[in-house]
Amino acid sequence: MEQKSKLPLSCPSCTDRLKVQTLLCENCETNVSGSFPLPLLTSLTEEEQAFIINFVKYSGSIKEMSKHLNLSYPSVRNILDDIIEKIKTCEENEKQ
């Protein structure tokens, strides 16, 4: 079974956030070089990303999400609020 490699997000040396330098087209093997920032969503953990995907799937309904996750309404709302807070912090950090 092929192991899916994990996208590194921070520098192993100084822990600063990494940027994409090279992109590859697997069809024609063209390399594109530059300095591209990683999408904001990659700042979140895999669990948080899965939460956001499910949240969109359930039309942004906290009630439906609480049924899906088998959690109470305020617990789901708290997870969502924490993610919102984290995104805001990441946005502020990127601006600086």
Which listed range, 10-18, 19-27, 36-44, 77-85, lies at the site for other proteins (CB under 8 A)?
Answer: 77-85
Among 17, 20, 38, 77, which residue sits at the site for other proteins (rule: CB under 8 A)? 77
Residue where the block lists tokens 């697997």: 26
Q: What is the DSSP string of 25-75?
A: -TTT--EEEEEEEPPGGGGS-HHHHHHHHHHHHTTT-HHHHHHHHT--HHH
Q: Tell whether residue 36 is a contact of other proteins (CB under 8 A).
A: no
Q: Tell whether residue 72 is a contact of other proteins (CB under 8 A).
A: yes
| The pair of three-digit structure tokens given for residue 21, joined into one six-digit string | 């330098």
Which residues are at the interface with other proteins (CB under 8 A)? 47, 50-51, 69-75, 77-79, 81-82, 85
